[in-house]
Amino acid sequence: MKRTERLNTMMRYMNNRQFFTIGELMREFAISRSTAIRDVHDIEALGMPLVAEAGRGGGYSIMPNRLLPAVQFTHDELKALFIAFLGTANQQLPYLQNRRTLSEKLLAIASADQQDELIELKRLLQFENTNPDNPDLLELTDFAAPMLRTVLELALKSRYLIFDYRAPLDKQTTRRVYLLNFFRRHANWYAAAFDFLRREQRTFRVDRIQAVRPDNQAPMPHKQLAALLKVNRPEPNLIVELGSSAINKFKQIHPPSLSLHYLDAFQQTARFSDFVETHGVEHLASYAEWLLFLGDDLKAVMIPHELRNIIRKKAARW
């Protein structure tokens, strides 16, 4: 979090708590004592009327009637937030339970008329992966892998991580990585990372991470790593051209790292390119299933033979 963002968030935190201590700020924002004290002084300089209370349990409070103005939502903003929570409740996202309590708080701050509209919206709108008889029902498959939240929390502090990883049919190995991003594909969460052992970018399934911890001795400075990532970015080994039918299916489901390059002004033909790791059988199988989902309205300009063989086997079986 950038310092300006932290100060703005901290001011809201102070406004909501009205009384707080330096220790609470340190825990809430994961900052040192000196940084917390400096932030408090800067917030005072911005005009927030803080009063220091001495003693063993002392801290800070805000002078009465001098609070920050409450955040106000328009009718449409409140509906947009509420629908966003409804539409993503069953998408295996982290912090799922927290998101449900946020929806309840949105209802709580709404007026009686707004509450009626939000409840009616909930009845009218039905989303994918929800039970039409009970949209509030959460199944086990709706929850993300527990390790996702753990890795996310650590990555917010440092992207240099060490984790124990167990791949199918392989022994557990310890990996030192720099985390690049997370993405979800075929109901599984993956972590894209630079693997310092293999000196290349790799993809790891989050639910196969057995344990994770911060790497307090980063293998290399971030600038050096950025240069290494740029040099080692793999060239595409898959190029596919799509017709209109395949384009529509691509828009429904596609890996988040892929985008279409349209080949005509009416956007009826397009192309995408990708680098497909060929050493992971499971990854190749899921990629083959996605290409088969796109249908017959496509042409492979370039494709790894390992992926082509799996597609042929699956197409023959189906």
> Both 204 and 242 in a single domain?
no
pLDDT of residue 209: 93
Per the CB < 8 A criterion, the answer to whether 246 and 298 are in contact is yes
> Both 165 and 220 in a single domain?
yes
The full DSSP string for 229-255 is: HHHTPPPP-EEEEE-HHHHHHHHHS--
- Phi first, then psi, for residue 62 (nearest 5°) are -105, 135
Query: What type of residue sits at position 105?
Result: K
Check which CATH number belongs to the domain holding 13 and give it: 1.10.10.10
Q: Given 231, 265, 286, which residue is the final one in a domain?
A: 231
What does the block give as tokens for 52? Answer: 């220091």
Please tell me whether residue 135 adopts helix, strand or coil conformation: coil
CA–CA separation, 20 and 14 (whole Å): 7
> Both 273 and 218 in a single domain?
no
- Inside any domain, residue 69: no
Range of the domain at 202: 159-231
pLDDT of residue 299: 94
pLDDT tens digits, one per residue of 3-25: 777 888 888 888 777 688 888 88
Greatest mean pLDDT among 48-52, 184-188, 311-315: 311-315
Would the pLDDT of 101 be above 80? no
Would the pLDDT of 55 be above 70? no
> Both 249 and 227 in a single domain?
no
The DSSP element (H or E) to which 281 belongs, if any, is helix 281-293
> Both 220 and 243 in a single domain?
no
pLDDT of residue 309: 92
User: What rounded mean pLDDT belongs to the chain?
Assistant: 83
pLDDT of residue 136: 65
pLDDT of residue 241: 96
CA–CA separation, 183 and 72 (whole Å): 33
pLDDT of residue 131: 66
Instruction: Quickly state the pLDDT bin for 291 (edges 50, 70, 90).
Output: very high
> Both 227 and 246 in a single domain?
no
> Both 227 and 243 in a single domain?
no
What does the block give as tokens for 138? Answer: 């959460």
Would the pLDDT of 1 be above 70? no
pLDDT tens digits, one per residue of 30-47: 899 889 888 888 888 777
Greatest mean pLDDT among 51-60, 71-80, 132-141, 269-278: 269-278
- Inside any domain, residue 148: no
Mean pLDDT of 225-232: 79
Q: Please indicate whether residue 209 or residue 106 has the higher confidence score (pLDDT).
A: 209
Count of CB atoms situated within 10 Å of the CB of 124: 7
Detail the DSSP E strand segments found in the chain: 19-20, 50-52, 60-62, 160-165, 173-185, 188-195, 200-205, 209-214, 238-242, 261-262, 270-274, 298-302
> Both 134 and 176 in a single domain?
no
- Inside any domain, residue 87: yes
Instruction: Quickly state the pLDDT bin for 267 (edges 50, 70, 90).
Output: very high
> Both 226 and 242 in a single domain?
no
Looking at the chain, the whole-number percentage of residues with pLDDT higher than 90 is 27
pLDDT of residue 71: 58
Q: How far is CA 20 from CA 3, 49, 55, 196, in A?
A: 20, 14, 13, 42
- Inside any domain, residue 98: yes
Q: How many domains does the chain have?
A: 4
- Inside any domain, residue 51: yes
- Inside any domain, residue 55: yes
pLDDT of residue 235: 86
pTM above 0.85, yes or no: no
pLDDT tens digits, one per residue of 112-137: 788 888 888 888 887 776 666 666 66
- Inside any domain, residue 166: yes
Looking at the chain, the whole-number percentage of residues with pLDDT higher than 70 is 87
CA–CA separation, 205 and 283 (whole Å): 10
- Inside any domain, residue 108: yes
- What single-letter DSSP state applies at residue 145? P
Which of 135, 149, 145 has its CA nearest to residue 92? 145
